[in-house]
Amino acid sequence: MSDAPGPQMPKSREEAVLARLSLLDRFLPVWILLAMALGLLLGRLVPSVQSALDSVKVGQTSLPIALGLLLMMYPVLAKVRYEEMGHVTGDRRLLWLSLLLNWIIGPALMFTLAWVFLADQPAFRTGLIVIGLARCIAMVLIWNDLARGDGEAAALLVAMNSLLQIAAYALLGTFYLRILPGWLGLSTQDVEFSTWDITKAVVIFLGIPLVAGYVTRRIGIRTRGRQWYEQRFLPRIGPFALYGLLFTIVVMFALQGDAITSDPSAVARIALPLLAYFAVMWGVSFFLGARARLGYPKTATLAFTAAGNNFELAIAVSIGVWGVTSGQALAGVIGPLIEVPALVALVYVSLWLRRRLERGRVLDASAA
């Protein structure tokens, strides 16, 4: 990510939000669209690509795709400040609100939206629910910084979500994909999976890079210092997360190009509930943070950590459980295409609310 504006620029100049994003982050939707187009072209020009990818497998996932997914996850988890977990009880209001929003309200909201918008599309519906269970641990740090949220609080919540996903993801997946629909009388016959399949995918595609990221961070900071690790090492490995994502997208679209081009409206049907999710989740979280009097920085942090999702993990789980040509995997790929412009818009909303809150405090102080 590029540096913040220099001291000669006034802090109130919020219109510089996009300029503060790195080139890769700023044009992420463009790179994703180009990867989709390249994949479609590759699928038409090289029909044998699927047999080549399937020649060596890790479980049900081809080795090249598995390596791409691990490459996508590792830089993200190397950024997590695991050492901040020692301050988990620093602000109990923030902690409990984050747990409520991330692990109860967020998954329940995505479950509801998935069934409302995609009741007749079981693969896409399942993909959305899988996204709702994957709490954001990467891009949220960028959104939080752009919105001038609390950096230490964001690092704490990201570290907490990273560890909770290892413990809870498979159980929540079983609950929202099988148990809760059964209680509500909804059909579960059109979704085939096993809890072990989800657990295995989480252990491989989240557990392995999480351990690697933790070890890398501990060794890097211990031997070279935090400044070198965060200002020199992380910027060097950071782009590889995008490279892994784009490689996965190229392969996915090469393998299921015909299915995608035959029904382009599928992208719009997936995008609508995602947009609704981002708006509702962020708005509810900001409102609760403001009512709890967390102050603007922590309120913004709460809102962005609750509204964002870990699409890398959702894509990895979908591919590991249902396959690279599944509708579940396609839903995961559409996610970041929608998330980036939506969250950038919410950064502007957040900064506008920040100005209003600060103006209100000034007026209250002058009236006192």
Rounded-to-integer distance, Cα 76 and Cα 72, Å: 8
For range 249-258, the mean pLDDT: 76
Q: What is the dihedral of CA 14, 15, 17, 20, to 10 degrees?
A: -100
Element (H, E) at 62: strand 61-62
CA–CA distances in Å: residue 62 to residues 57, 67, 99, 196, 318? 4, 9, 35, 19, 13
Lowest-confidence range among 50-64, 143-157, 162-176, 243-257? 50-64
| pLDDT tens, position by position, 198-216 | 888 888 888 888 899 999 9
Residue 30 buriedness (CB in 10 A; 0-12 / 13-18 / 19+): exposed
What pLDDT score was predicted for residue 284?
Answer: 97
Rounded-to-integer distance, Cα 183 and Cα 172, Å: 15
At residue 326, φ and ψ (nearest 5 deg) are: -80, 155
Strand, helix or coil at 57? strand
Which residue blocks in 205-326 are alpha helix, DSSP H? 208-224, 226-228, 234-237, 239-255, 257-262, 265-291, 296-307, 311-322
Question: What is the average pLDDT score of the chain?
Answer: 82
Lowest-confidence range among 95-104, 143-152, 175-184? 143-152
Tokens of 137: 């641990």
Which residue blocks in 147-207 are alpha helix, DSSP H? 151-174, 180-183, 195-202
Chain centre distance of CA 79:
14
**Most confidently modeled range among 207-221, 243-257, 309-323:** 207-221
The three-point CA angle 159-163-164 to 5° equals 110
CA atoms within 13 A of residue 81's CA, in its CB half-sphere: 16
What pLDDT score was predicted for residue 57?
Answer: 66
CA atoms within 13 A of residue 46's CA, in its CB half-sphere: 14
User: What domains can you pick out in the chain, each with its CATH number?
Assistant: 72-357 (1.20.1530.20)
What pLDDT score was predicted for residue 290?
Answer: 92
| 13 compared with 183, residue with greater pLDDT | 183
What pLDDT score was predicted for residue 177?
Answer: 92
What pLDDT score was predicted for residue 112?
Answer: 97
In three-state form (DSSP H/G/I as H, E/B as E, the rest C), the secondary structure along 204-215 is HHHHHHHHHHHH
What pLDDT score was predicted for residue 73?
Answer: 82
Lowest-confidence range among 43-47, 247-251, 262-266? 262-266
What pLDDT score was predicted for residue 311?
Answer: 84
What pLDDT score was predicted for residue 3?
Answer: 41
| pLDDT tens, position by position, 268-298 | 899 999 999 999 999 999 999 999 999 999 9
Strand, helix or coil at 125? helix
Lowest-confidence range among 4-18, 67-81, 89-103? 4-18
- State the pTM of this model: 0.80
**Most confidently modeled range among 87-96, 118-127, 157-166:** 118-127
Q: Is the pLDDT of residue 161 over 90?
A: no
What is the maximal distance between C-alpha atoms in the chain? 75
What pLDDT score was predicted for residue 39?
Answer: 85
pLDDT band at 336 (very low <50, low <70, confident <90, very high): confident
- Looking up tokens 């920040």 gives 354
Strand, helix or coil at 228? helix
**Most confidently modeled range among 5-9, 161-165, 170-174, 357-361:** 170-174
Percentage of the chain lying above the pLDDT 70 cut: 84
**Most confidently modeled range among 92-96, 189-193, 215-219:** 215-219
Tokens of 304: 């962005």
